[in-house]
Structure 1
Amino acid sequence: MIPFLHPGARLIDGLTGRELAGDALVREIHAAAERMFALPPGLMLSVMPADARSVIRYLAALLSRRPIALLDPGIRGEALLDLVNRFTPAIVAGPPPAAATPDGYRTGSETYWIRAGAPPHHPELGVLLATSGSTGNPKLVRLSRPAVAANARAVAQALGLTPGDLWPTTLSLHYTYGLTTLNAHLAAGGGVLVTGHSLLDREFWELSDSHGATSLAAVPYHFEILARLRFDAADHPKLRMITQAGGRLSEQRIADFARRMAVTGGHLVKMYGMTEAPRMSVLAPERLADKIGSVGTAIPGGALSIDDGEVVYEGPNVMMGYAECGADLARGDDLCGVIRTGDLGHLDDDGFLYLDGRIRRIGKVFGVRVNLDDVERMLAGRGLPVAVVGGDDRLVVWAEGLDRAGCAETARELAAGLRTHPSGIDVRGIGALPLLPTGKIDYRTLENMP
């Protein structure tokens, strides 16, 4: 059986209203796994929209011990074909209509591409996820089935999830935060309402309220949407929790939504994780007031430390390593449960983690190193939505809604704050910052803009 699936877990199809709970869900997963057993062994690439069929396919792959790579449903045909060429999967599920069947593959049922002779894989390899923000040739993160199970149970415990909880899919399921939220609810015996609607859709709220949704999972961008919608927890009587991850959220916004949730006895929970180690820490809601800038303490079974300023995490949910081609699928555990995150941070006297920036988010202005995250925080404190990238010996600041005069004034003020010449600061107005599907700022797009 799937190692983390609670016997009482349930899955609700928001499109049809069909609910699969307990034994009915298990039977559906087993039936899908039996169909998989009849196909050639090897990796499955699976486009992963937020629908019941995709979730069943994912769970069936875990049950049948077939590694499955979860892909963005918006993946372009050429990007999918690149992955096919590099990894030679046995099965490709749900290819976009624009992509022709590759050489060596035949078309099967359920829009499958199928071939024999896929590369061998490690017996514990379970799930592969594309590295966040990658374009071109993304590496895939290799997660073992035990790591997926350990993460699901730890998150369920850290959040205090129960069989009465229900999560509507506010996040993409190929994204590590969305997938771990799905897994944690199933591990707790709770429910998942799969819906293709967004927070901006009236149908999302109607479905969530009618089914009794108890939690929302949100990235910083979602909080801006909720603020514009004038979100009021009292309008959603079953909602008891909002979890936040996927990037830094301002302390003002954190306090704002904590207050909104507290009106009805609910709470906000901050989390920290990465594709390579899904969920590493949780800030318990009762400590939010006195540790508001922190991302909390390690999840059950994990440990956090700081080495030369860098956050290091150790736990059973750490990836086995990366895969860049089919030969990498057979690799063992390269990291042995320990990962250097690339994040700068510090632990306070109580063991709570605070993030200070990214090691690689460094720019130079006239030869002087500048932490780009620090610059963003300086400007965010003035209420200015910005993204900062490094240019040729200068900083390029993209600011939402600023006109030419506002850009010039911001450049002068920032230069004064950094004690550098204004010619080293290029502030540009933009209608809206480009975002990745995860809701994080798409820095790659900004770096390539003229």
Structure 2
Amino acid sequence: MRVLPGTGPAPFVRALAGHGDRPAVITADGRLSYAELAERVAELAARLGATRRLVLLAGANQVDELVAYLAALAGGHPLLLVPGDHDTATTELTRAYDPDVLIHRVDGELVVHERRPGSRHELHPELALLLSTSGSTGSPKLVRLSSANLQANAEAIAEYLDIRDTDRAATTLPLHYCYGLSVVNSHLLRGAALILTGLSVTERCFWELFRAAHGTTLAGVPYTFDLLDRVGFDRMRLPHLRYLTQAGGQLDPERVARYAALGRRHGWRFFVMYGQTEATARMAYLPPELAERRPEAIGVPIPGGSFRLRPLPDRPDPDTGELVYAGPNVMLGYAEQPSDLALGRTVTELPTGDVARRGPDGLYEIVGRAAEFTKIFGLRVDPRRVEERLRRAGVEAYCVGTDRELVVAATGAHHPDRVRRLAAAAAGLPARVVRAHLLAELPRLANGKPDLAAVRALAAPPAAATVPSEAGPDQLCRLYAELLDQPEVSPDQSFVDLGGDSLSYVEASVRLQDLLGELPADWHTIPIRDLVRPAPDRPARRRVLETGLALRALAIVAIVGSHIPVFTVKGGAHLLLAVAGFNFARFQLTTAPRRERVRAAVRAVGRIVLPSVAWIALAGAVTGDYTLTNVLLLNSVLGPHDGATEWHFWFIEALVYILLAGAALIAVPAVDRIERRYPFGLPLALALLGLVTRYDLPSLTTRGHLPDAVVACWLFALGWAAARANRTGQRVVVTAVAALTVPGFFGQPYREAFVVAGFALLVWVPRLPSRPAVNRAVAVLAGSSLYIYLTHWQVMPLIGPWSPELALVASLAVGIGCAAAVRGLTRRLSWRQSRRGSGGAADGQRPGDRLHLQPLRRRPRPTVQLVRPGRGEPDGDLATAGDPHER
């Protein structure tokens, strides 16, 4: 076969055998030297023959697929590389381009299916590789690349990364993705080794293989770095690591700076890169030494490449324009049908579609996307800039524009209305033309990039729900709107989505059981339409009661009744500390980002502190019973410790201190990561640590007064551990620790038995059989527990001398009344504030019109649960440090 100038296999492919016995591929099953790899490549290339044919390869990060890729290039066969895990893409591209040879897996074996001995296509001599720019969608639009493109890009990458023959790169990205392919090409060029694996960086086996192979480099897209943060990458010992690379989308500048600093401390370098499939892979890189100072930049052109800025009509700044790249790695052109495979070079430079700015230091920075601007109401909107503004506000989201609206897909502990208004402000649009969807996970392509087509599909109006039930979606929507003070509720939203708090949770569970019968344990996370089931499938009269709610109600009655006293059942306050820890874990330690967790925890403390300080100040002014340290909740620290009334609010002080300590703990990034990785181990360790002060091992009491929070904090931590005890062995451990450590704490066996029994119920019996009347009573008591505790100190001296029983009833009634009054006042203030924030009505609406919240996308379970910022905290709930919010 005659080889024309500029054609034939890329030199790095021809040179494989020249690296001899050096390791080329390392897998969990063994190693392959360059000589062995070259031999296998030559065998398959010989089988493909000397006649050039169009080969389609379903790629995967496995040895056989790597050999097939190199064999097609070595034999001069144009290769159409498609994702091996997406049959639809393979089918669509096979139908569109009718390849001569199909290489794919059948029943786990890689099969070479020769569909014809020759080729039905006219193939240009320079054509070497065909890649899709649309991920795994099977779009027929392909990028045509030559061997010279592949060689030039591999050489440039190897140069600025300083790839050495001793390097060993893990294949953290798919073979069919241009970024992942560039890792393969550039390392084979230098005789380095590939750690070939399809494992995720979240899997322990990946890191075991990486360490055993002495891995030196990792590559990732932004989502990869989400996963690295999740698995605690900053704590890993990777002694052979030389550098990390990042491309495939903009990484948040804060994270760029953080990883650059981490690399500087640990002796490896962090390269931020910029590229497109049309440029084979890479066009720019940010020198690692500049990453901390200029984390927002994409850097400088790769060796052999250059940039220019094409002026844009609406951007007169000469240092800003559409980024245009030129270099030997620029594609031959696009192919949209088989006849295009005969084309030669149709482009000489690449308009990237990105708007860039060149800084005084010569570094380029992407500031927008020219091709993705959309006009809504005549306003030009850049969805990428909206995403960046949302990210700064703590919201991870993807945005796309249509002719009518801006569509936002977000994830995390946010309320859709907040996301909608943040996005509207960022885009300069009326909120009514922004559609916000809260999803369990942001849609991504197989290569980890945003799946904007999936986001665009969310613009379609949601299908109407038709679920047969005597309690239909409309009725439940009205109930949720009433309980949660929401102007409009969608059947696709859940209690948590709508910002339900701990108080409304109790009331809602009772009202829903009246309508639907027994509720699933996670009802508060289930969309309304999924709660509505056909009547025959639903128990009509069976009622259950959450043990945590029952214990809260029982404990507050026991506390007040023992103080009067009507009876003596002590230990209620200490049991409430355990329940508070239980609810702190369930409702505060969600999958939300760390900052959201901390903000929610601090707001939760505020919901306890504000009414407590207000009431104690008022009661102190009237009765003279309390000092300033009582009002400021500092009595257990500053004293006095010997008065008759100073101890009244020890429990509230202890609870506030412990919750603040919990918020401070999760504010530490390392502790936050440990909690996510060891959700049971961390609280158990804290409980065991708390035993130091429970048993006063350092003899601190001999040196002065010890605050109750320090003495009793182990109960809170043990309640936290109880919420995380998902296996029988863990439940046994929590029960055993409680049974061994509570006895002796009070020196009162009945009191200690009461607390231990409560622990056992909390751990082993999550739900109790009940009746509607009991549920209603428990809902009122549990939801008013803070106010009952605060007010009973003033009620019982007035009525107790006449009738202890009546004093108990009056104390409960006054606390319940105060809770209802505060709740009503809070709702009215919240409604007025929301009206002021929207000018008294939603944008474009008349006063009195109903504001329609944008519906959530229906999500498969399990989902990431959501908490509405500002409303996802306890509302007057003494023992709950957060909303009913399952992990």
TM-score for both structures, normalised by structure 2: 0.47
User: Could you say which residue in structure 2 is the equivalent of 1:288?
Assistant: 291
Worse overlay, 115-124 or 128-137? 128-137
Q: Distance in 2 between matches of 1:194 and 1:413?
A: 43
1:87 matched to 2:97? The reply is: yes
Matches within 5 A, 1:29-68: 29-37=41-49, 41-68=52-79
Aligned match of 1:105: none
Question: Contact 2:419/2:436 (CA < 8 Å) preserved in 1?
Answer: yes
Q: Which residue of 1 aligns with 2:409?
A: 398
State whether residues 390 and 422 of structure 2, in contact with CA within 8 Å, keep that contact through their aligned partners in structure 1.
no
Matching residue's letter, 1:20? S
* Helix, strand or coil at the partner of 1:4: helix
Show the 5 A alignment for 1:38-437.
Answer: 41-77=52-88, 79-94=89-104, 110-116=111-117, 117-133=119-135, 135=137, 137-232=139-234, 234-277=236-279, 278-308=281-311, 309-336=321-348, 338-403=349-414, 406-437=415-446
Contact 1:41-1:118 within 8 A present in 2 as well: no
Equivalent pair of 1:233/1:239 in contact (CA under 8 Å): no
Q: Deviations over 1:372-423 (max 9, x none)?
A: 11111111111211111113432122210345xx222333344345444221
Identity of aligned residues (%): 36
Q: Residues 121 and 385 of structure 1: is their aligned pair in 2 closer, same or farther, counting only changes over 3 Å?
A: same
Is the CA contact (8 Å cut-off) linking 1:169 and 1:194 kept in structure 2?
Answer: yes
CA–CA distance in structure 1, aligned partners of residues 276 and 212 of structure 2: 33
Tell me the distance in 1 between the aligned counterparts of 2:67 and 2:426.
53
Provide the C-alpha distance between the structure 2 equivalents of 1:418 and 1:312, rounded to a whole number of angstroms. Answer: 26
Relative to 1, partners in 2 of residues 1:294 and 1:96: Cα closer, same or farther, differing over 3 Å? farther
Task: Deviation per CA, 1:261-286: give whole Å up to 9, x if none.
Answer: 22221111000100100200111111
Letter in 2 for 1:17: G
**8 Å contact kept, 2:222–2:248:** yes
Matching residue's letter, 2:291? L
**Cα displacement (A) at 1:76:** 1.9
Q: 1:265 to 1:222 in 2, by over 3 A?
A: same
Task: Provide the residue aligned with 1:3 in structure 2.
Answer: 11
Q: Secondary structure at the match of 1:428?
A: strand
For residues 49 and 234 of structure 1, the distance between their equivalents in structure 2, rounded to whole angstroms, comes to 27
**Are 2:23 and 2:31, in contact at CA under 8 Å, matched by a contact in 1?**
no
CA change 1:90–1:409 in 2 (3 A) is: closer
**Stretch deviating more after TM superposition (311-320 or 394-403):** 394-403
Take 1:418 and 1:127, find their aligned partners in 2: how far apart are those partners?
Answer: 40
Q: 1:392 to 1:189 in 2, by over 3 A?
A: same
| TM-score, normalised with respect to structure 1 | 0.91
User: More deviation in 279-288 or 394-403?
Assistant: 394-403
Distance in 1, matches of 2:56 and 2:432, equals 48
CA displacement at 1:204 relative to structure 2:
0.9
The answer on whether the counterparts of 1:364 and 1:395 sit within 8 Å (CA) in structure 2 is: no
1:138-195 per-residue CA deviation (whole Å, 9 max, x = no partner) reads 3111100011111111100011111111111100010000001110111122111111
CA contact (8 A) 2:395 2:419 kept: no
Contact 2:261 2:292 in 1 (8 A): no
Higher-strand-fraction structure: 1
SS of equivalent residue, structure 2 residue 92: helix
Gaps of 5+ in 2: 1-8, 312-320, 461-887
Q: After TM superposition, give the deviation of residue 24 of structure 1 in Å.
A: 2.9
The answer (yes or no) to whether the contact 2:103–2:112 under 8 Å persists in 1 is yes
Shift of 1:292: 1.5
In the other structure, the counterpart of 1:103 is none
Listed as ranges, the gaps of 5+ residues in structure 1 are 99-107
Q: C-alpha displacement at 1:96, in angstroms? A: 5.7
User: Hey, what does 2:872 align to over in structure 1?
Assistant: none
Q: Relative to structure 1, is the Cα distance of residues 24 and 233 closer, same or farther in structure 2, using a 3 angstrom cutoff?
A: farther
SS of residue matched to 2:441: coil
Distance in 2 (alpha carbons) for counterparts of 1:432 and 1:300: 38
Shift of 1:118: 2.3
Superposition deviation, residue 327 in structure 1: 1.4
Give yes or no for the alignment of 1:440 onto 2:445: no
**Residue pair 1:364, 1:394 contacting (<8 A) in 2 also:** no
> CA separation of 1:279/1:418 partners in 2, compared to 1, >3 Å: closer, same or farther?
closer
Q: Is the 8 A contact 1:41 1:90 kept in 2?
A: no
The structure with the largest helix share of the pair is 2
> Secondary structure of the residue that 2:417 maps to in structure 1?
helix
The whole-number CA distance in structure 2 between the counterparts of 1:162 and 1:13 is 16
Give the count of matched residue pairs.
435
Task: Give 1:312 shift.
Answer: 0.4
- For 1:55 and 1:72, the matched residues in 2 are separated by 13
Of 306-315 and 349-358, deviating more is 349-358
Q: Which has the larger radius of gyration?
A: 2
Match of 2:526 in 1: none
Distance 1:434 1:321 in 2: 29
Looking at structure 2, the residues matched to 416 and 119 of structure 1 have their Cα atoms a distance apart, in angstroms, of 53
> Larger relative CO (CA 8 A, sep 6+): 1 or 2?
1
Whole-angstrom CA distance in 2 between matches of 1:272 and 1:415: 29
Q: Give the drift of 1:16.
A: 2.0
Q: Contact between 2:41 and 2:70, CA under 8 Å: does it hold in 1?
A: yes
CA contact (8 A) 2:407 2:455 kept: no
Work out the CA distance in 2 between the residues paired with 1:42 and 1:268. 41
Greater alpha carbon shift after TM alignment, 226-235 vs 65-74: 226-235
- The letter for the 2-side match of 1:52 is V
Mapped to 2, the partners of 1:372 and 1:198 lie a distance apart of 30
Change in CA separation of 1:417 and 1:173 when aligned onto 2, cut-off 3 Å: closer
Note if contact 1:302-1:316 (Cα within 8 Å) is conserved in structure 2: yes
Question: What is the distance in 2 between the residues matched to 1:35 and 1:10?
Answer: 25
Q: Deviations over 1:38-81 (max 9, x none)?
A: 7x63110001100111111111111111111111012225x433
Aligned 8 A contact 2:332 2:345 in 1: yes
1-structure distance, mates of 2:447, 2:359: 29
Aligned amino acid, residue 230 of structure 2: R
One-letter amino acid of the structure 2 residue matched with residue 114 of structure 1? R
Mapped to 1, the partners of 2:421 and 2:78 lie a distance apart of 53
- The verdict on how the C-alpha distance between 1:47 and 1:410 changes in structure 2, with shifts beyond 3 A counting, is closer
Distance in 1, matches of 2:95 and 2:430, equals 49
Q: Distance in 2 between matches of 1:151 and 1:439?
A: 22
Larger CA deviation: 409-418 vs 114-123: 409-418
